[in-house]
Structure 1
Amino acid sequence: MHSLAPISQRAEAPATLPAITAGGLRWRPATTDDADAILVLSNTMHEADGAPYRETIDEVRADLEAPWRRLDTDTLLGFDDAGELRATAMIETPPGDESTVRTYCFGGVHPERRGEGIGRELFAWQVARARQIIAATGRDLPARIAAFAEDDAPVPLHRLYAHAGLEARRFYSDLKRPVGGDAPLIPRVELTGSLRLVPWSEELDDAARLAHNDAFRDHWGSEPQTMAQWTKNRSEFAPEWSFLVVDEQPDVKALLADPRTDAPTAQALRDGRPIVAGYAMSSRYDADFPVRGYSFGYTDVLGTRRAYRGRKAALAALAASMQAFADAGMDAAVLDVDTENPSGAQGLYASLGYVKEHGSRMYSIEL
């Protein structure tokens, strides 16, 4: 492996950010008071672009109020002469990153104001600001500037990312599995040894976070989550649809000797704290039901600790969630998966009857 040049060189951060002159809009940073206007614009764009989801005011507020968010430097809103919001930009910088410094660009332009060059200039501002953020970390690690798009999003959006130097690097499948009516039976999973299926609880939430960080350590693009990150997007969280598999009698000595055991887990073992082996965290996105044309439970994150793979912990948690969806009268179970997931998740979901309904991709510049 070639050694990396200093991050200050690779980032190529500009001293000043490019001006946005297209469209004659007035620009300023976002504030939490802009949540309602941002919601209206976001959902207007989602509807115009045929996106299979809508946002809620609670989701928008959670984004704006994230404790690590720098609204003054990492957001931008564009207003027309009538004071109507016509464009928005936000740069997300996850605080828990350890091996890669990541920045994500979100936002867009109102459908009525597209084709004026606003989007290209706004995205250039985002990329330039992302380069500044990366350089300012002073961390000589690999870095990434990324943005997402639905596969069937308007062609100009894909061209915009390509023009800015981003390449499509990861592809995701949105999967659906009927659970109501005449749907196939949901499997009953028997756990072995000291593994036990339990409902999610606040007392086990940090243990679930540690399990997630461990489970995804070998997944491309995944980084550890702090507790603030783990709990940030909980506005639509459905605890009654979320399940954990705990090890009631973990082999502490063997786990501490296992090179796969990460430092936070090792400390939890020494402290005698609970060990979550697998988890399925779910949400209820009611605003999406009329868009998709059916009701569903959504599995936000699913995983098994590396030392517990092969013991059906994640399968048991997922099956319990699917049954909870069905018991609540939902039509389907939905989740999203990286098509190159190294844990074999695609095969698991296919065996359970999940089929692809939508697709999306991540574009990025790798530094």
Structure 2
Amino acid sequence: MTSAPTTRQPLAPIAERAAPPAEVPVPQVDGLTWRPLAVADAPALFRLVSAVEEHDQHPFRTSLEETEEIFEGDWRDLPRDTLVGLDADGEPRAYASVDTRPGDTTVVRAFVQGAVHPQWRGRAVGRQVLAWSTARARQLLAASGKELPARIAGYVQDDDAPERRLFEAAGFTATRFYSTLRRDLSLPVPEVTLGEGLRVVPWTPELDEATRLAHNDAFRDHWGSEPATPESWVHGRSMFAPEWSVLVVDDTPATSTGPDGVAPRASTGPDGPVVAGYLLSGRYEQDWPVAGYSSGYTETLGVRRDYRGRKIAVALLSAGMAAYKAGGVEYAELDVDTENPSGAHGLYASLGYEKKDGSRMYSIEL
């Protein structure tokens, strides 16, 4: 007897599922006054974030340039999507930020982040800040008008038990897990020979739009990934290391278009090469004293679906490691989803990558 196929129940309207409150509850904490963040707050916010990361012994340190990225993005509404709690001296002691991205087409998402200064903990500040963030996230999801599955999400280090408990008490569930891997660059870097027409080239600004199109194609079968728009693609590049970023291009003519209906050509014109794969890197020197070693970080690695099985990922990783090594650093690092569908874990292990630490995504699925 053949069982009947299961059918997905139709979603209720996003405005109903998100259940947005009419008003977002501003925290009530003796000694703190609350207002939205402003661009001029970046240095003071950086001091707050640094104090939190040092106290909580995070394996990284956020730079001032990364802190300033909170204020960037034409899609952001800072007066409504950010909050800071100031003490009597005007110093930030807690903050929250909620961010959505304009390109979401399969799941509409709102990401929450925030922190409370160690000296202000134990007063329910974190609970109230997260409640504010969650309420504002619900408003943003409802206002998107996108009749899609929806998600409110935040990221936590695996060993940060207090923050894990905070998210869990607020109704979030750990739904995805990530591993930070590192590879000792004193080991030999493999040499890879690519097939005819394929070659490794340095990243250039002229090839960046073609790289974005390659990224959207490469990640359309990855959980949690949504298309990058031209605006969101270039957001968050304060630590970008172009000298450590490489592409694999195909010089042969392309005959098809990608999933977005656009031929995977370079932005310089229709006769440019196809970007078949890419490795974009970051240089996080502020992390090196904490880690105890220097490293090059692989931000994003992807291969177009039509080009898989042709050693492109190995060639990119090898070229990236060679660039890091030439730059005088000791390790290559990257993060990977533990449920990555492309077999990435086996690939990284075969190249000598080992787990350093981990993080997880907490979410409310709507």
Normalising by structure 1, we get a TM-score of 0.94
Identity rate, percent: 53
Candidates 168, 172, 193, aligned match of 1:190: 193
- Which residue matches 1:66? 73
Give, in whole Å, the separation in 1 of the partners of 2:325 and 2:306.
31
* Alignment RMSD: 1.4
Residue type of the alignment partner of 1:309 = R
Q: Is the partner of 1:276 in helix, strand or coil? A: strand
- Which residue matches 1:248? 251
Q: Which runs of 5+ in 2 are unaligned?
A: 1-7
Give, in whole Å, the separation in 2 of the partners of 1:170 and 1:250.
39
- Which residue matches 1:228? 231
Tell me if 1:159 matches 2:165: yes
Tell me if 1:56 matches 2:63: yes
- Which residue matches 2:5? none
Moved over 6 A (4+): none
- Which residue matches 2:241? 238
Candidates 199, 203, 208, aligned match of 1:200: 203
Tell me the alpha carbon deviations over residues 5-46 of structure 1, each in whole angstroms, 9 at most, x when there is no partner: 100110010111113113431000001000001111111111
- Which residue matches 1:178? 184
Following TM superposition, by how much is the alpha carbon of 1:275 offset from its aligned partner in structure 2, in angstroms?
1.4
Give, in whole Å, the separation in 1 of the partners of 2:230 and 2:147.
25
Q: Is the partner of 2:234 in helix, strand or coil? A: helix
Q: Is the CA contact 2:82–2:98 (under 8 Å) kept in the aligned structure 1? A: yes
**Mapping 1:141-156, distance limit 5 Å:** 141-153=148-160, 155-156=161-162
Tell me the alpha carbon deviations over residues 77-106 of structure 1, each in whole angstroms, 9 at most, x when there is no partner: 001112111001001111111111100001
Residue type of the alignment partner of 2:119 = E
Give, in whole Å, the separation in 2 of the partners of 1:267 and 1:62.
29
Residue type of the alignment partner of 2:148 = L
Following TM superposition, by how much is the alpha carbon of 1:272 offset from its aligned partner in structure 2, in angstroms?
4.2
- Which residue matches 1:102? 109
The alpha-carbon distance between structure 1 residues 292 and 101, as it changes in their structure 2 partners (threshold 3 A), is same
Q: Is the partner of 1:206 in helix, strand or coil? A: helix
Give, in whole Å, the separation in 1 of the partners of 2:26 and 2:202.
51
Q: Is the partner of 2:24 in helix, strand or coil? A: coil
**Higher share in helix:** 1
Question: What number of residue pairs does the alignment pair up?
Answer: 357
Q: Is the partner of 1:158 in helix, strand or coil? A: helix
Residue type of the alignment partner of 2:217 = D
Give, in whole Å, the separation in 1 of the partners of 2:99 and 2:192.
38
Normalising by structure 2, we get a TM-score of 0.95
Q: Is the CA contact 2:211–2:275 (under 8 Å) kept in the aligned structure 1? A: yes
Q: Is the CA contact 2:71–2:78 (under 8 Å) kept in the aligned structure 1? A: yes
- Which residue matches 1:168? 174
- Which residue matches 1:361? 360
- Which residue matches 2:296? 297
Residue type of the alignment partner of 1:169 = T
Residue type of the alignment partner of 1:220 = W
Give, in whole Å, the separation in 2 of the partners of 1:43 and 1:304.
36
